[in-house]
Structure formats: structure tokens, C-alpha cells
């Protein structure tokens, strides 16, 4: 079944359950951008709290447009968006992750991006791709994130490591050297099992040249490249370089601070955590690009901003999104939140251009890959989670685990 048809099938079932019959037609002309109006915006998590301050400043500069921001917890975001779509009450603007995009585009709840106003070339490719469903853009990238390698530079010196590992062979060698020469308990922290283990696995899978689904939408997790990634990932557990078991909610920064764990993969938010929670570590750590297998590729995350197709305030909504995603708005948002700008022009000055660790994230974002916007993506990745666990726990070979995952993913997408 074609990807669009699969997504639509899920969305139609959702729509039927909530009584949606023809979402997407407001029946009236949009209000002019500078007319007196109120824009409603839903933003999730910490962004929801921070965006209110930006909205106040925007309203002061544009007194005819009142921007009303409603913070929504990520734990209830999907449920609230579904319910609002069913009732025809989506806000004018909503923050949306890529995993939601296919579902809401399929029920015609989102306004396509005005590509004359928002140029794809202004954003990181992976950031833009998160908002694209079947070739059409529905979300403007707001911020991005990706995973890179964090490592202890002081312990690296003790281990005789002069440069951060740049290849798979160097990464595994460094993990062993940290243990043998610097006395660390582990060499590398990667997730052994449980929900979303796939997020820890992506840097290996993508850097091997593998993926879960190919460009044709068919299962690809059984490919030779994917098998190679399973083998490399499993080797850390086979050789005692990584923990075979971690508690739910495990905070790797604590073991990074003590030196039990000298290396791990994570996103940009960790930098702020290390600086605030472990100031004594300052100058003792750095970040590096994902070590190369066949290439150096990591996962892409972040959020986009979408406009409801039912909105009567589309011109003003586009202007506010432009305000948030132009160079000045992106620089300001980074200063407020440390969220990495999705617009590449924001990286040319200030801390974003001068901090070598931040520049590592920029370099990684240039090649980062985003997950396809499928409503059933969580179910697909759960099959990969199980395959990874079977390898890390020694229950299956990399080849057998990949073969089983291939069969299970095929049953979901074909």
C-alpha cells in the first residue's frame, strides 16, 4: 500500500471515530493580517511557557493582533489536537512534531505552507522535511535538534586519546581505552532495551547507510547495512563496554559527571544541563560528530509550526510564524530557550557561530535524517526496539533480529 494511502487509512478511521466529515473549510474569507484580531496558538512543553513572552512583545509591536498562547503538555498534546480537529476547533497556529504531521495532513486539517513566503532553502533539509507529507509542506520548521557524541576530554587524556573518535573503529577502541587506561566503569552509554531504544540506535543505523523504510516506503530494516548496524551496536554489550540494563528514567549525566560513563550520544539540551548541574565539569567535556560507518548521519528532531485550514486569520498567522522563523526571531528564541535554530542564517553570528560545540550540532544537522510522517511510526519503531533488545541481550544474532524485524515491519506497511 502506498504511504499516503496507509496514512489516510489511519486518519480516516480516526476521523470516523470522532465524527469528522469535512474538516478544512472555514466557509469565510481570511481576515487581513493587520486587521483587529486574536491569534490562538498552542505550544508544547517548555516552549509553551516561553512563547507567551514573545507573543506579548509581538502584540506591543502589532497592536491590532493579540496573540494568545496556550501551553500544552507533551503528554496530552496528541489527544488535545485530535479532539480539537474533531470539533473543528484547532487553534490558528500549533506546534507540531513530525510524527503528527501525516495524520493531520491526511484529514485535511492543515493549511499547506505558503512557499512564496517561506523558502525551503532557508532551513536545514531535515528540519524542512519533517513538515512534508507526500511532497507537500504543511509545517514551517521552528527549531531542530540532533544527536552527537558527548565525551570526557580529561579522561580521554588519561586514556591516551588525543582526538575524538571519528570512525566506528575509533569509537569502539576509545571505549575500551577509557575502561582500561582511565578506569571508567563503562566505555559508552547506549540504550540496551525498552521504549524508543531506536533513538539510541539511529546514529548507527543511518551511519551504516541503513534505514527502517526505504524511499519507496517499503521495509528496509533487514538490509545488509542494517545488519551491520545491529552488529556494531551489539558489540558494545558483547564486549562489556556498555550496560546491558538501565533503569527507566536513567540520567546519564550523573555517571558522566562521576566518570563511570565517559561517552554517550544525546541532543543539545544536555549542554545546558551539564553547565548548570555540573559546573565543575566545565572544560572537561566536549562534543563531536557521530563517528562514521559508511557516513556520519544522526537523527533529526525538533518542531514545526502549522496553520489550521479552518483558521480565519491565516494572513496574520503567517506573519507571526515569519516573525518566529526569520533570522532575528530564531536568534532570539535560541537565547530564550537554547533550542537550535532551524533557519541556517541564524547560525552566522553570536554564540551559534562562535561556540565550537554548537558548530558540531550545525555540522551534524546538515546530514541528519528525519523519520517519515506516518501515523503508525510508533508501532513500526516498536518492532525495531524489540530487535535491538534481542541483540543487546544476546537472544538473537544481528542477522536474525534484522530478518524478524523486516518481516514485522513489512506486515505494517505493505
154-167: per-residue pLDDT in tens? 999 999 999 999 99
Residue 84's closest CA among 11, 20, 8, 9?
20
27 and 114 assigned to the same domain: yes
Q: How far apart are CA 81 and CA 87, in angstroms?
A: 10
State the DSSP H helix or E strand holding residue 148, giving kind and residue range, or none if neither: strand 148-152
* Residue of 316 and 350 predicted with greater confidence: 316
Angle at 137 between CA 304 and CA 120, to 5 degrees: 80
pTM (2 d.p.): 0.88
Check whether residue 251 and residue 396 sit in a common domain: yes
Regarding whether 8 and 90 lie in a shared domain, the answer is yes
- 8 A C-beta contact, residue 126 and residue 370: yes
Same domain, 136 and 209: no
Q: Using N-to-C axis directions, what is the helix angle for 198-207 and 377-392, rounded to 10°? A: 80
The pLDDT of residue 23 is 44
Q: Is the dihedral of CA 180, 181, 182, 183 positive or negative?
A: positive
**Domain coverage including residue 26:** 3-146+301-365
Q: Is residue 370 part of a domain?
A: no
Q: Residue 96: beta bridge partners?
A: 304
Which pLDDT score, from 0 to 100, does residue 164 have?
A: 98
Whose cell is 558494545? That residue is 236
Same domain, 21 and 71: yes
Instruction: Please check whether residues 65 and 164 belong to one and the same domain.
Output: no
Query: Considering the domain boundaries, does residue 371 fall inside one?
Result: no
As a dihedral over the C-alpha atoms of residue 226, residue 227, residue 230, residue 235, rounded to 10 degrees, the angle is -140
165 near 264, Cβ under 8 Å?
A: no
Q: Are 142 and 156 contained in the same domain? A: no
- The position carrying cell 586519546 is 161
Domain with 319 in it: what CATH number? 3.40.190.10
Q: Are 324 and 198 found together in one domain? A: no
CA distance 406 to 141: 31
Q: What is the pLDDT of residue 16?
A: 43
Are residues 138 and 173 both part of a single domain?
no
pLDDT in tens, 349-369: 888 999 999 999 999 999 999
Q: 388 and 261, same structural domain?
A: yes
Amino acid at each position: 500500500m502506498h504511504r499516503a494511502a496507509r496514512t489516510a487509512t489511519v486518519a480516516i478511521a480516526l476521523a470516523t471515530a470522532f465524527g469528522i466529515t469535512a474538516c478544512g473549510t472555514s466557509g469565510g474569507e481570511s481576515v487581513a493580517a493587520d486587521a483587529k484580531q486574536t491569534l490562538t496558538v498552542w505550544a508544547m512543553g517548555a516552549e509553551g511557557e516561553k512563547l507567551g513572552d514573545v507573543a506579548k512583545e509581538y502584540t506591543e509591536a502589532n497592536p491590532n493582533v493579540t496573540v494568545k498562547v496556550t501551553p500544552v503538555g507533551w503528554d496530552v498534546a496528541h489527544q488535545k489536537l485530535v479532539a480539537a480537529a474533531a470539533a473543528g476547533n484547532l487553534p490558528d497556529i500549533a506546534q507540531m512534531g513530525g510524527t503528527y504531521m501525516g495524520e493531520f495532513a491526511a484529514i485535511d486539517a492543515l493549511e499547506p505552507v505558503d512557499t512564496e513566503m517561506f523558502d525551503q532553502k532557508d532551513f536545514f533539509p531535515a528540519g524542512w522535511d519533517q513538515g512534508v507529507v507526500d511532497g507537500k509542506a504543511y509545517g514551517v520548521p521552528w527549531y531542530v535538534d540532533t544527536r552527537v557524541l558527548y565525551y570526557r576530554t580529561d579522561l580521554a587524556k588519561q586514556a591516551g586519546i588525543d582526538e575524538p573518535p571519528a570512525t566506528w573503529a575509533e569509537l569502539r577502541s576509545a571505549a575500551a581505552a577509557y575502561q582500561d587506561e582511565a578506569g571508567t566503569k563503562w566505555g559508552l552509554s547506549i540504550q540496551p532495551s525498552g521504549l524508543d531504544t531506536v533513538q539510541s540506535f539511529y546514529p548507527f543505523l543511518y551511519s551504516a547507510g541503513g534505514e527502517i523504510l526505504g524511499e519507496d516506503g517499503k521495509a528496509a530494516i533487514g538490509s545488509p547495512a542494517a545488519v551491520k548496524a545491529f552488529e556494531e551496536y551489539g558489540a558494545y554489550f558483547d564486549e562489556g563496554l556498555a550496560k546491558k540494563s538501565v533503569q527507566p528514567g536513567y540520567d546519564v549525566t550523573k555517571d558522566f559527571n562521576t566518570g563511570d560513563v565517559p561517552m554517550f550520544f544525546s541532543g543539545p539540551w544536555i549542554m545546558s544541563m551539564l553547565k548548570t548541574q555540573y559546573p565543575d565539569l566545565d572544560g572537561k567535556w566536549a562534543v563531536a560528530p557521530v563517528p562514521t560507518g559508511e557516513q556520519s548521519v544522526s537523527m533529526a528532531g525538533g518542531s514545526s509550526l502549522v496553520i489550521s485550514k479552518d483558521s480565519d486569520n491565516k494572513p496574520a498567522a503567517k506573519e507571526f510564524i515569519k516573525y518566529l522563523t526569520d533570522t532575528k526571531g530564531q536568534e532570539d528564541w535560541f537565547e530564550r530557550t537554547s533550542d537550535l535554530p532551524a533557519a541556517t542564517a541564524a547560525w552566522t553570528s553570536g554564540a551559534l557561530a562562535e561556540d565550537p560545540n554548537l558548530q558540531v550540532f550545525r555540522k551534524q544537522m546538515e546530514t541528519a535524517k528525519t523519520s517519515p510522517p506516518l501515523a503508525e511510526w510508533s508501532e513500526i519503531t516498536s518492532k525495531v526496539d524489540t530487535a535491538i533488545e534481542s541483540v543487546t541481550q544476546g537472544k538473537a544474532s544481528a542477522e536474525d533480529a534484522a530478518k524478524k524485524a523486516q518481516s514485522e515491519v513489512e506486515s505494517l506497511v505493505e
